[in-house]
Amino acid sequence: GNSVTQMEGPVTLSEEAFLTINCTYTATGYPSLFWYVQYPGEGLQLLLKATKADDKGSNKGFEATYRKETTSFHLEKGSVQVSDSAVYFCALRGQAGTALIFGKGTTLSVSS
């Protein structure tokens, strides 16, 4: 079945450091890929998404490129801020109308 594997956290960075959170997936066909963020005490928010190979999703300085050849959707940001501290979830959806499958989440902690 479909699944998502994320790098284990927590990830601890200093402000303005470069961020990469790895995400790989297993799926049949051509899934859509997502990154969600959950700030402390808040609900899930969609950060970015990509629906086909080579698409790049971007939002708030974060980027992720859908790489079918490596079945990956790594999240990157060039310069993190303290306000980026949150839990980040990679997710996929196998086809239209089906539920999201989530990775285990990666906690990011950014210090000033």
41 touches other proteins (CB under 8 A): no
101 touches other proteins (CB under 8 A): yes
Asked whether the beta carbons of 24 and 5 are under 8 A apart, the reply is yes
Question: Which conformational region is residue 16 in: left (phi greater than 0), alpha (psi within -120 to 50 degrees), or beta?
Answer: left
Shortest approach of other proteins to residue 84 CB, angstroms? 19
| 85 closest CA partner among 24, 17, 33, 25 | 17
Asked whether the beta carbons of 2 and 26 are under 8 A apart, the reply is yes
Query: Which of 10-18, 40-48, 57-65, 76-84 is the region at the interface with other proteins (rule: CB under 8 A)?
Result: 40-48
99 touches other proteins (CB under 8 A): yes
Q: Provide the binding-site residues for other proteins, judged by CB under 8 A.
A: 32, 43-44, 46, 51, 89, 93, 95-105
